[in-house]
Chains A and B, each alone.
Chain A
């Protein structure tokens, strides 16, 4: 074997190339975390930070199960990339590239945080001196370095690199490249970003489960960073805005506003709680997947045959009349048995429950918009006794019709008072 073929030699070249290109350091550890070598000028300090931030633990446990580069980050925004390879003597080694920051504002933000701590100047300066030398690199560039690393280790050119992001949970999300890219500072093509967004939101609207292919084709670079000085906050804000956009698109795609808002709130809360960039990417990916799945399921539900759509229209047009199964089946032209089975299969709900739900929808409208008594509403909507109506209503809405009416009226009253105050 030619000595230049040895993986250690190729790694050595790789180390020199990326260090001269942007000052990124490479670290080589044994598979139990013993450091063999690094070209970092702050070996002891940064190795300690790698450990303190939990990235070392991740690399030595979860990272071992991943055979492609994985990205880790910690609570102060330091990002590391790692992968395992087999050395010439068949031992397994861990190579780490980093640390780096995604945004140049990271150190500025840290300076502000340190001012609150009332530290002595020597300690503060020592800390900042190290972090100011950490290179700021975009995800796009990091991706290229990941490809180069794969080439240096495997000795073969690879096209797409699937990158794993560290998560605090047990799961290992597989995230394709579109998600790790953020707009490059000073080189933002707003028109391109807008078009990419349109395409992605169209995927959400369509419930297109093949959205990853679409994103790979357009090389999605994500939303633009705000550059406010707090990179973590900026990233959270980007995810929050993207979640709201996806929610709106999902509603346009047919998802009920209630479900969309519930999902939106859920993911916004998760984004706010995210402690690192990688966790945030994970939340963003899950959010997008979830909205698309929900819209897709919703669209499948809508794929009902004409007789069942006619059946629904008939029920909605005659909700205040007595509706028996026999009557509805006769109207549609099916036998009762066939209709009930077909209805449940296509609509995912029993026909009699559907009739009840439609009536309850109208009950809610009448309760709020009319002065009809609850007894009258109950009778006109074919529920019969007021007690039965109240019980069914409470099962569905969690409150009795009287409570519902009172709550809505109070709500409307407050709204009117606020409007009046504004005018005054």
Chain B
């Protein structure tokens, strides 16, 4: 799943907090940032301004239910 365009990233990370298991942002370069880890959240913050990272990055959840929670921020494309 990819992130939708023009989402509120602060709200997105707040929503990630409510997920039951780990949620990862994966870049096309092969990085796998755990969005529940503090340092990874800082790294994620640093790349949100670069549309290429967001456009090509994907969100991976360990639990299917967590996709439901993040539904408003995700798209199939």
Contact = CB atoms under 8 A, between A and B. Distances in A.
Nearest to B46: A127
B42 A51 contact: no
Nearest to B9: A48
Interface of B is mostly: helix
Interface in B32-47: 33, 38-39, 41-47
Given A120-B27, A120-B30, A123-B29, A45 B46 contact: yes
A112 to B, nearest CB: 12
A48 B45 contact: yes
Interface in B7-57: 9-10, 13, 27, 29-31, 33, 38-39, 41-50, 53
A122 B29 CA distance: 8
A47 B49 CA distance: 11
B48 A45 contact: yes
Contacts of B39: 76, 113, 117
A96 to B, nearest CB: 15
Interface string A32-75: 00000000001111111101110010000000000000000001
Contacts of A187: none
B31 A119 contact: yes
A123 B13 contact: no
A52 B35 CA distance: 11
A127 B43 contact: yes
A53 B9 CA distance: 14
B48 A51 contact: no
Contacts of B13: 48, 51-52
Given A45-B46, A52-B13, A123-B47, 18 more contacts: A45-B45, A45-B47, A45-B48, A48-B9, A48-B44, A48-B45, A49-B46, A51-B10, A52-B45, A76-B42, A113-B39, A117-B39, A120-B31, A123-B33, A123-B53, A126-B46, A126-B53, A127-B46
Interface of A: 42-49, 51-53, 56, 75-76, 113, 117, 119-123, 126-127, 130-131
23 contacts: A43-B49, A45-B45, A45-B46, A45-B47, A45-B48, A45-B49, A46-B45, A47-B10, A48-B10, A48-B44, A48-B45, A119-B43, A120-B27, A120-B30, A120-B31, A121-B29, A122-B27, A122-B53, A123-B43, A126-B47, A126-B50, A127-B47, A130-B46
